[in-house]
Structure 1
Amino acid sequence: MEYSRIEKILASAFVLFLLLASINFLDELEDIPKRPDFHDYESKYVPSELLENQSRLSLLSRNFRIRYDEMRDNLTKAQELYVFKREEYRVALESNNVTEDLKNEYLSAKKDYEKALLEFSAVEAAYKEVENQLYELNNQIQELNEMAWREYRNAYSVYRIKVLLLKLLFVLPAFLASFLLYKRYKNIYAASLIAYSSLLLAYLAVEAVWSSLQVIGLSLFGAVATALALYYIRREYLKPERVHKRRIAQNKCYNCGFPIKDDYIICPNCGIKLKEKCENCGAMKPIHLDFCPYCGEQ
């Protein structure tokens, strides 16, 4: 049965609107099973006391780091001054030009350096101790988080299976019903229904593959889609008959694509025969044309 263009357009719109509504309905089905929340599993495995202790140690570590940098700068300045006064005092001793002021400056610089060194060593030891405690605590929390993450992934996999089963309970009966209708009536309306249900089933399959495999699923889908596209292009546009007719319309040799003139009988590039005699009118017509351009007979 032939259908008008407007009927085909309306049938396509019918399929499109049904798909949009159904996809939205499938998305709503994801809220029926309880979706796992990672924070629930995190609180189960990681006690709040550990997190509070982690926060406290992190703050303490930052404060010690600031203090550590200050003490290191003070030690560097005190050391530079001490080295300078020590060398100055040594040179004065060797030349017997030591004064009481020079000696006091040297002893004061030495005392300040030793004090800065003690303060820096104390802050450094405390800072390293806090860093070690924080490192051990972070490792402990990471191990507990990995346990929580494993249980969460298992629960989420069960959740995805439940959602998939719910969606299949909607899609498969729709596909079966449309298939039975098409088998019985075989009109444009039944064809629209089976197109809708087939596309919906394909959407569900792609969604399931993507949610479970993601990059691998996308790669497989892209590979299949590319292969189908290449097959379609080769079948529709690269068939020898189509290539030959396209080259003839462009005044080229149908075999090698070399430019030719209308009165050429043989291709000057590959030597293939370009024209044959029409059995009806006797005119020389291009090979591979279905109808003679002079008499219109096949």
Structure 2
Amino acid sequence: MSPATSRPARDDIARSLWRLLEPIHAVVYFAPEPLEEFRTVGYRGFWMGYFAGRAAPLGSADANVVHALFYNFAYERVSRAVPAAWSFAPPDEALAARVRGSVRALGRALGPAADGADVARAAELAMRAARSAPLEGRALFAANRSLPVPQEPLAQLWQAATLLREHRGDGHVATLVAAGISGRESHVLHAAASGIPRDVYTPARDFDEAEWTARRDALEHRGLLEDDRLSPRGHRLKTRIEERTDRLATTAYDALTTSETDELARLLRPLTHAVVRAGDIPLDNPMGLDLRASLDQS
């Protein structure tokens, strides 16, 4: 890190790059090409493909492991997908399917730019950051880090975005645990902070009225919510969680100079813009990603 670059400035870089990289990673969940690839190898339905694809770097993991690491899903949802998924197709087929589908989706969104020098350079910088990020305490990132690096630039860019996303996600989960916010409560807290409609979480995270009310009431009892909005105390806690997440994510970029992180952001902006404009990823989503902010940066 350059002596002239303050830690808050570096933390801002980590958040800015997350907003630019997350849509590139997220095509694996929303674009039609990865969903088609998961169906082709044998997975049944969206959720089996989701859990198989994301959990595949862990090997034939069971529901307890996946539920613990993914943190915010209902256990019943996880247990319906794994370990049953591995009887339809093993983890190595899920890994291949997710890369094939994501590369196809990105290629469609980027058009001729997919084969350009900017993609190759962005992939090189992002992968250098991802491969240098600390492993300790980041199990899902470490599992992805153990995978071979693709040689094709577009596949390499997608995998680097995935590595950096899971690195940040592991740090975010640790921060939530330290703050005493369970995975299910984190959705209610984020909805109050972001204004994402509650009904987004009904199909995406299996909330019914009773559970949502119970989680909301628990946060209100702690003084974090008032009338379904963040209280001043809740706002302070949410700010601390986000700031700590950024700070932990910043460690992934210590291998890059300030000029290189600036270059990476510059290269990613038009790529992210194209991916978001392709329209596969919903603007209101439960991932915590503000796609409007991604578009603003693009």
Q: Tell me, yes or no, whether TM beats 0.5.
A: no
TM bucket, shorter chain: under 0.3
TM-score, length-normalised on structure 2? 0.22
Which of structures 1 and 2 has the larger relative contact order (alpha carbons within 8 angstroms, sep 6+)?
A: 2
TM-score, length-normalised on structure 1? 0.22
Structure with higher Rg: it is 1
